[in-house]
Amino acid sequence: MAVMDRRTFLAGTGAALLAAPLATEAQQPARPPRIGYLSSGSPSAARHLLDAFGQGLRVLGYMEGQNLTIDYRWVEGRSDQLPSLVEELVRLKVDAIVTHGAVPTRAARRATAAIPIVFASSGDAVATGLVASLARPGGNVTGLTIIAPELAGKRLELLREAIPRFTRLAVLWNSANPVVMPEFKETEVAAQTLGVQIQSLEVTDPGRFAGAFSAMTGERADALIVLSDALFLSQTARIVSLAAKSRLPAMYAESEFIVAGGLTSYGSSLVVQYRRAATYVDKIPRGAKPADLPVEQPTKFDLVINLKTAKALGLTIPPSLLGRFYDWSVTATYGRILTSVVGVTVMVPPARNAQRWNAPLTVTLHGRVT
């Protein structure tokens, strides 16, 4: 499967990042920049994201290995390795550290207050103390947020629309990730409103996924929601496979799970965020301070449904949901034609107004139904 990449970031707070090239308005770097990259995941799981990051850098005139050096460090689920990996990057005297997720970002911030840190994806950066505010982050940390808690309730609503009669919901989440707790709480609130019983399953390392899915089937869960987490993203294929074996229809935060064969996802595009992260990397070696670079938020979100998976699960997606899509054909980010994935981009008002989803939505429909 593949998934479309048709989102753009329009956040007003990011307007400064869309200004004219900085080469004419700030000092040039004295030497080719050296960037550190720190992720909880693995190289294979992040390949397409790093490709997008590289595309963004090339647009700005950078070529890795020519006028830019990137030092990669991968946790691959071993959180105890984080401090030593960060220290390696600090000793290399990198110009900036790019991170994915709140846990690596916090580890990097604990290790250095001098090196700028750019998170390519994170949950609520203000609530977790990564930044002072979105407009004026302060300190040495800035980047792009995914607005995870605000979308939690909507994900459950969409899953209920796709599977109207489920009453028992398993929620898979990483309790070691500080930004996931608000998302879990919002899911609980939405479940209570809809009369859905929640089974909480906390997984903090890759060795616990099999046990979590055994517990779901033991409690006869009707459906599953997987909350956003960098560790989970690194285990995409495994989670999707376990969900299929358990015959659990699942809603995910990232469309990468749908590419791997998951049922449905709703959220912003990580590919777009990684392209945008390159803009921060361009500015920092030229003299820009993270404290003055606003945190960007997405304003468009994709609902993606894998029809092949729905068929395998014996599900019929209601016409009310499929009616939102119209036919189209596109070569997606992953280089394949979409034949059994359909998508809808939902444009919402600023996140403050959309927090409880009371504001009317403007819906831009796109997808291909086969």
Best mean pLDDT range from 232-246, 257-271, 354-368: 232-246
Q: Is the pLDDT of residue 225 over 90?
A: yes
Domains of the chain, residue spans: 12-147+269-292
State pLDDT tens for residues 70-82.
Answer: 999 998 877 788 8
Tokens for 166, please give them: 């489920």
Q: Quick one: CA torsion of 83, 88, 89, 91, rounded to 10 degrees? A: 120
From the options 3.50.50.60, 2.60.40.3080, 3.40.50.2300, 3.10.450.50, give the CATH code of 12-147+269-292: 3.40.50.2300
Residue 57 phi/psi, 5-degree rounding, is -65, -40
Beta bridge partners of 366: 343
Distance of CA 45 to the CA centre of its chain: 13
Beta bridge partners of 39: 74, 100
Give CA–CA dist 270/333, Å, rounded: 11
Please report which confidence band the pLDDT of residue 360 belongs to, taking 50, 70 and 90 as the band edges.
very low
Beta bridge partners of 337: 331
Signed CA dihedral, 284, 288, 290, 296: sign only: negative
Give CA–CA dist 302/308, Å, rounded: 18
Of all helices (H) and strands (E), which one includes residue 271?
helix 270-283
State pLDDT tens for residues 160-183.
Answer: 998 988 999 999 999 988 888 889
Whole-number percent of the chain with pLDDT over 90: 54
58-60-62 Cα angle (round to 5): 50
End-to-end CA distance of the chain: give it in Å, rounded.
13
> Strands 69-74 and 96-100: what pairing?
unpaired
Report pTM.
0.79
Give CA–CA dist 239/209, Å, rounded: 7
The structure tokens 């460090």 sit at 73
Q: Is the pLDDT of residue 50 over 90?
A: yes
State pLDDT tens for residues 136-152.
Answer: 999 999 999 987 778 89
Please report which confidence band the pLDDT of residue 358 belongs to, taking 50, 70 and 90 as the band edges.
very low
Please report which confidence band the pLDDT of residue 10 belongs to, taking 50, 70 and 90 as the band edges.
very low
Output the pLDDT for position 324.
64
